[in-house]
Structure 1
Amino acid sequence: MKILFARSCVSVALLAVLLPFSALAAPTPEAISLVRKFVAEELHGNLDALADFDLASLAGHPLYGAPGSTFDADDCNLVRALFDVLYAEALPGLALPAIGTGRAYRGDTLNTFHTLLGRPIPDQPGRFTGLERHRPSDDLRARAAAFHRTYHTLGNLAPLPNRSLGRLTFNTYRGTHPEWRDAFPAFLQNLRLALLADSAADPTLCRLVELNAEAFREFRAPDGLARFAQRLDLDDYVEPATGLPIPHYAPNAHFLPQSDADYLASADRYLAIAPVLIQRRAQRMIVRLRRLLPNGHNQEDNPQR
């Protein structure tokens, strides 16, 4: 009863800071239990450590990973549970049974790695195929290696509606679009147009929005994207005064024809901005988790103590 009462109080408190919802939702007990167990056992009760935890390290884990299926850091069991706890009140029907590949929602990686920087080179730690094509400095190599850990952390992951158009989802379409090149700011700019059914909106993105109409029903207005961003702790991606997406960096890819100087300038900007966006959002998410998991970060919850 104590836990149920705490969750009810948290739900009421959140309504004071989040915009009204048509239906009150709450995190599922299963998701709360899994997140609390992870914090207690793997982080020794230190919830703050979750912000920097490399979720890719959960590959192969029998509980928090993806047993029985292909592992993806943004779609593993722990991340699904985290989305349930964090955002059950953010989007309609977002709950543990509805999160995952082929379901109504799926995790997505916001600031990606491979499109711009390439994949790790086997037997060459800290070297990446895309970056090495353009003769980077050792400093840029080191920053890329650091980001290869950061981009799998909590602040870089978010649930997106996932009903598909054939094999196309928001996740796959933003990653393969020849103009967006998986750049999250560019995706948000185009999502805003699609939510407004603007004449300049991408037709395929509009169809995906319609397929996911229930998830987006509260965001089909001029301020809709700003409210969507607020719900998912994406505040740093939208200009507060205008509600417009902030073009933090331009789309690019390591395989596009360009000079080394242009590519390296693009990579330098990306590696300067993306980690900060991730860290700032992670702190917001930790604050939210602390409200939703009362005492979940205390040492007394660690069964090994």
Structure 2
Amino acid sequence: MKDEIGIITVKTFVEERLEGNIDSIIDYDLGRLRSDKQYGCPGRKFDPDDTNLMRAIYCVVFGDVWTNLSWENSGDGKLRGDTINSSATFFSYPWKDEFTQKWNPPVELTEKIKTFQHTFHTIGNMMVLPDKRIDGWSINQYRGCHAEWHDYEDRFLAALYKVLTDKSDHEEDLQDFVRLNEEDFAFFYGEDGWRRFIDGNILNDYVDANHLPIIRSKGYTWWRSGYVNKQRFFTEANRYIDESTRIIHNRGKHMLDILKERIG
């Protein structure tokens, strides 16, 4: 391990906030750290994927995946946390809830969304991405605002795969971000590098047995306009929540196993 700060931070958090039960970290809602001056985002804008707790977890779990990852090299413009599966794209923000106003979903789906808006703020939904920026834009932000990806991880990974393996139809704008962050991405070029990226970041649920990306999402957004068949829209909403929840839980368990192994 390149530094001990991450280990100490996770250990202390488990003792102070989880009563020593590290297993419960899988379901801990990172939104609870909004005003936390120790494990939240003291002195910076709050973001669950960039809390001090998550920075520590990244260092412990992924410190041997990203060669430059350390406590000192975490955060904006460095190596930064990213939320894998979004809630806002499909279901809007819970404090504004424009999704319900526009779509009037069934009660069962409404309750399911509420549960997911907790689940997507847990450790299994958080990953690391390089964060050097172009005109103020990071890969994280570019992914979220892209007209075709709309923050869907499967769509983003399919595009990233083409860049890292130099496919002829790769997206040149995404390539600009990868090249800017080449020092961090260097280990992930080529088919072998892509496998290292997927395996190391525990993203195997997004690829097939040959590590080729699988796009399952329909790319829906809550602000979608024009004619939309509501039944198909709600069917996709349920599918997206179910699949994302499964991936988040599976990934969280894997991260927990690594935490247990490395912090003792």
Whether these two folds match at TM > 0.5 is yes
- For residue 164 of structure 1, report the CA deviation from its aligned partner: 1.2
2:91 corresponds to: 117
1:248 corresponds to: 216
Matches within 5 A, 1:122-271: 128-239=97-208, 241-257=209-225, 258-271=228-241
Question: What CA distance in whole angstroms lies between the structure 2 residues aligned with 1:222 and 1:120?
Answer: 39
Question: What CA distance in whole angstroms lies between the structure 1 residues aligned with 2:6 and 2:118?
Answer: 25
SS at match of 1:108: strand
Counterpart residue type for residue 83 of structure 1: Y
Q: 1:287 aligned to 2:262? A: no
Question: What CA distance in whole angstroms lies between the structure 2 residues aligned with 1:120 and 1:213?
Answer: 36
Q: 1:72 aligned to 2:47? A: yes
Question: What CA distance in whole angstroms lies between the structure 2 residues aligned with 1:71 and 1:265?
Answer: 33
- For residue 132 of structure 1, report the CA deviation from its aligned partner: 3.8
Q: Which runs of 5+ in 2 are unaligned?
A: none
Q: Output one character per residue of 1:277-297: Cα deviation in whole Å (capped at 9) or x when no partner.
A: 000000000001011011xxx
* Matched pairs, number: 262
Instruction: Kindly indicate whether the alpha-carbon contact (under 8 Å) linking 1:186 and 1:250 is maintained by their aligned counterparts in 2.
Output: no
Q: Output one character per residue of 1:231-254: Cα deviation in whole Å (capped at 9) or x when no partner.
A: 112222221x21111223221101
SS at match of 2:54: helix
User: Which protein shows a greater Rg?
Assistant: 1
1:3 corresponds to: none
Q: 1:93 aligned to 2:55? A: no
1:8 corresponds to: none
1:108 corresponds to: 82
- What's the RMSD between the two structures over aligned residues? 1.3
Q: Output one character per residue of 1:32-66: Cα deviation in whole Å (capped at 9) or x when no partner.
A: 11110001111111111000000110011110011
1:54 corresponds to: 29
SS at match of 1:246: coil
TM-score with structure 2 setting the length: 0.95
- Percent identical among aligned pairs is 32
Structure 1 runs of 4+ off > 6 angstroms?
none
